Amino acid sequence: MDDRRSNAFAENPLVGRAVHKMNGAGNAILVLDLRGAGFLPRPEDARALARAPGLGYDQMMVLGDAADAGEAAFMTIFNQDGSLSAACGNGTRCVAHYLAEQTGATELRLATSAGKLFVRREGPLAYMVDMGAPRLDWRDIPLAREADTACVDLAAFGLPPASCVSMGNPHAIFFVERIEDFDLAAIGPRLEHDPMFPQRANISLAQSLAPDHIRLQVWERGTGLTLACGTAACATGVAAARAGRAGRRVKISLPGGDLLIHWREADDHVEMTGPVQVEFSQTLDAAIFSGRDD
């Protein structure tokens, strides 16, 4: 066959693969198991999957082969816009559930480009993830210039200074009196792209309800408004404890559900506990990848 023709009609290697739609506290997660496959989706494939009718996702968790024998999988995490994130708390619980159902394991280790994660099953549909230690140095967030990360003045939209935390991905949290006083869909994209954030940032509005309870709404880097964001909940728990607004154990209520955060004193690690839901599985067809990539 003519080479150019065969290339033009060559099928995307994702066609025929199964994806598993799940959610973690409402955060829409697609799990794509490519262990043993030896390839990753391209950014344009990730975008095509994000806009596929009835499929869609906030994050796609792609499983690849782990480097260490004790690890179940390496996770490559895509946002809707095809960009990568080194961490995703809700997606990690979903991946843990997918693997736990296959193997019966109640404890497992997973890896991302940001490090290693330990997960424990807490119930039929509940998992605790050790998300590791937060990073609070301005260079690690990263910020564009030296600043006190507990108090970053972005001087915008009538918001107070932000608290910035990295959980492997960058977060800016604004503690406000009432979340409803701000239009996060309007200000989120502008703050995400603020020059202070050379790698952009996830933007959260947090409202203290009690010393152990915080409401949270998140504009996610590369995705937009979501019903929940696990790493944002972790970062908010850290920021609240750091500022004396909360203790080290706090419930974070997001539009899609609640997450329990415990910033351990002993080793500085953040534990996140929360639910997963399985929605459906589907085999990918060629039509998903045939549209324009704008």
Ligand X SMILES: N[C@H](CCC[C@H](N)C(=O)O)C(=O)O
Extract the annotated binding site for substrate.
27, 59, 79, 89-90, 169, 202, 220-221, 230-231
Length, in residues, of the chain: 294
Q: Which of 5, 3, 65, 63 is nearest to 30 (CA)?
A: 63
Among 79, 207, 236, 273, binds ligand X (CB under 6 A): 79
Binding residues with ligand X: total (CB under 6 A): 19
Q: How far is the CB of 112 from ligand X (least distance, A)?
A: 11
Residue 228's Cα: distance from chain center in Å? 9
Residue 64 or 222: which CB sits closer to ligand X? 222
Our answer to whether residue 94 is catalytic in this structure is no
Contact 262, 271 (CB under 8 A): yes
Report if residue 202 touches ligand X, rule: CB under 6 A.
yes
> Helix H segments across the chain?
3-8, 43-51, 89-103, 184-192, 230-242
Tell me which residues in 247-276 interact with ligand X (CB under 6 A): none
Our answer to whether residue 164 is catalytic in this structure is no
Residue 59 or 207: which CB sits closer to ligand X? 59
Query: What are the φ and ψ backbone dihedral angles of 232, each rounded to 5 degrees?
Result: -65, -40
Report if residue 236 touches ligand X, rule: CB under 6 A.
no
Q: Single out the catalytic residue among 94, 164, 229, 234.
A: 229
Q: In this structure, how many other beta carbons lie within 10 angstroms of the beta carbon of residue 186?
A: 10
Interface mask toward ligand X for 86-125; x: CB under 6 A = --xxxx----------------------------------
Contact 93, 129 (CB under 8 A): yes
**Coil, helix or strand at residue 207:** strand
Q: Which of 204, 197, 198 is nearest to 154 (CA)?
A: 197
Tell me which residues in 13-32 interact with ligand X (CB under 6 A): 27
Residues with catalytic roles? 88, 229
Q: Which residues bind ligand X (CB under 6 A)?
A: 27, 58-59, 79, 85, 88-91, 169, 202, 220-223, 226, 229-231
